[in-house]
Structure 1
Amino acid sequence: MRGKLIEFRNVSFRYTEELPWVLKDCSFEIYENEEVAIIGHNGSGKSTVAKLMNGLLFPEEGAIFINGQQVTQESIWEIRKDVGMVFQNPDNQFVGTTVQDDVAFGMENRGIPRAEMVKRIDDTLSAVGMLDYLMTEPHKLSGGQKQRVAIASVLAIFPQVLILDEATAMLDPKGRTEIMETITSVQEKHQLSLITITHDLQEVVRAERVIVMNEGEIWDEATPREIFAKRAELRKIGLDVPFIANLSDALLKAGVSITNEPLNQRELLEDLWISHSRM
């Protein structure tokens, strides 16, 4: 049984007293080595949730716990040892003049011995396929390469949870696929919890659980299959559904029998084959 890693207890937040609440009485839990996608339309509060997890913001009401420790001004530096975050624009995270320097930065701040730093730099850059760029200046890298380095920089501090806040939004489909494959490989190797805040439906489908945000509240949380079965309701709150779900609807309307809720092309083909075999 997996232990509880992150807990939001009745969390509410607004940026100023004059502005409306961005989050309203939000409660949920995330467990060790779990992959969770957080989705919602723009302004739904999902990116605010990410910043609250990492102590970039603090709740106005309610409480947040990481590994049983409440996130406060006093505990935040300890909390950030367990929580790593990769943003949409990796340029905002670069501080080193070379890839090596950038990956080393977080470890230097934590006083990690040099020999251990060298090992972690090699290990994390190898994990994301960027070891050959050790002495390259970050601004000379492509968008996908920059994101790989940003991920390596976070992984080098050995966090227990990795948060991707729209981290693949600026990449083309091939780049998004490569980054998510890299992250999945790293997650399995290091037993990380992974929280993906995204609009990319393919990233959502691969998660174990989905938390849907709407107007600052938790609209629903369930498996991807259960969430995308509510296609009409999702569309009403401004969210899209995977192409395969739309295709399944069209096939059902055309009289084709589909027994499950397929999430990808393979599942749809298997469903159609089984249905056809029974005829």
Structure 2
Amino acid sequence: MRNSIVEFRNVSFRYGAEEPWVLKDCSFSIHENEAVAIIGHNGSGKSTIAKLMNGLLFPQEGEIIINGQRVNEETVWDVRKDVGMVFQNPDNQFVGTTVQDDVAFGMENRGVPRDEMVKRIEDTLKAVGMQQYLMTEPHKLSGGQKQRVAIASVLAIFPSVLILDEATAMLDPKGRKEIMNTVTAVQEQRHLSLITITHDLQEVVQAERVIVMNEGKIWDEATPRGIFAKKEELQSIGLDVPFVAILSEELRKKGVPIANEALNQDELLEELWTSHLTM
């Protein structure tokens, strides 16, 4: 049984006293070394959740616990040692004149000794495949390379929780796949809790658990397979379903005996092969 590292307890939030509630009485937990995807249409509250986890915002109601510590104005800097966040546009995170300076920035603020800092810069850039760009100016990098450096900068502070807030949205499909493969590998090596806020269905499929937001509330949470089995319900709240899941449903309607919900092409081919053998 894994321990909870993030807990939302009846959290509600709005951006002003006269504004509508963006989150309404949300409660959930995320465990150590767990990969969770948070999905929902625009305005459902998912990015607000990310900012609340990192202490960029504070709830008007309820409480948030990160690694056993309640998030408030007194604890926010300690909380940010545990929670690293990568945003959609990496240019918003660059502060250094070179890749090396940028990765060092967060560690300098935390007083990491120089020898340790040099080692972490080398290790984190190697982990994201950017070690050869140590002295490169960030503006000379491609979008995918910038996002890799942004991830390295966060990993260098050794967080327990890594949040990707639409971090692959500006990349092409190949770039998205490369970034997520990198992040998944690092998560497994470091035993991080990974929280992915995304519209990309392939990223959702890679998660262990999915939290679906709708109109500021938790609509459902389950495994990707369990969530995507509810095709019509998801579409009714404005969310997409993987093409493979739609194709599987159409094949069932045509009489093809597909027993399990396929999440990718390989699983669908396996189902088709199994059904062929049993026919």
Q: TM-score when scaled to structure 2?
A: 0.99
Once the two structures are superposed, residues 127-148 of structure 1 have per-residue CA deviations (whole angstroms, 9 ceiling, x without a partner) of: 0000000000001100000000
Aligned-pair CA distance for 1:272:
0.8
Aligned-pair CA distance for 1:255:
1.6
Secondary structure at the residue paired with 1:24? strand
CA RMSD of aligned residues (A): 0.5
Once the two structures are superposed, residues 74-118 of structure 1 have per-residue CA deviations (whole angstroms, 9 ceiling, x without a partner) of: 000000000000000000000000000000000000000000000
Aligned to 1:275: 275
Quote the sequence identity (%). 80
Q: What is the distance in 1 between the residues matched to 2:184 and 2:68? A: 26
Q: Does 1:18 align with 2:34?
A: no
Q: Does 1:236 align with 2:236?
A: yes
Q: What is the distance in 2 between the residues matched to 1:50 and 1:161? A: 11
Aligned to 1:45: 45
Q: What is the distance in 1 between the residues matched to 2:190 and 2:178? A: 18
Secondary structure at the residue paired with 1:163? strand
Instruction: Give the residue type in structure 2 aligned to 1:138.
Output: P
Q: Does 1:94 align with 2:87?
A: no
Stretches of structure 2 lacking an aligned partner (at least 5 in a row): none
Stretches of structure 1 lacking an aligned partner (at least 5 in a row): none
Q: What is the distance in 1 between the residues matched to 2:231 and 2:127? A: 37
Q: What is the distance in 2 between the residues matched to 1:193 and 1:216? A: 23
Q: Does 1:252 align with 2:256?
A: no
Alignment of 1:1-279 (within 5 A): 1-279=1-279
Moved more, 244-253 or 24-33: 244-253
Q: What is the distance in 2 between the residues matched to 1:68 and 1:119? A: 29
Q: What is the distance in 2 between the residues matched to 1:117 and 1:67? A: 24
Q: What is the distance in 1 between the residues matched to 2:161 and 2:108? A: 20
Instruction: Give the residue type in structure 1 aligned to 2:114.
Output: R
Aligned-pair CA distance for 1:257:
1.2
Aligned residues: 279
Q: What is the distance in 1 between the residues matched to 2:68 and 2:119? A: 30
Q: TM-score when scaled to structure 1?
A: 0.99
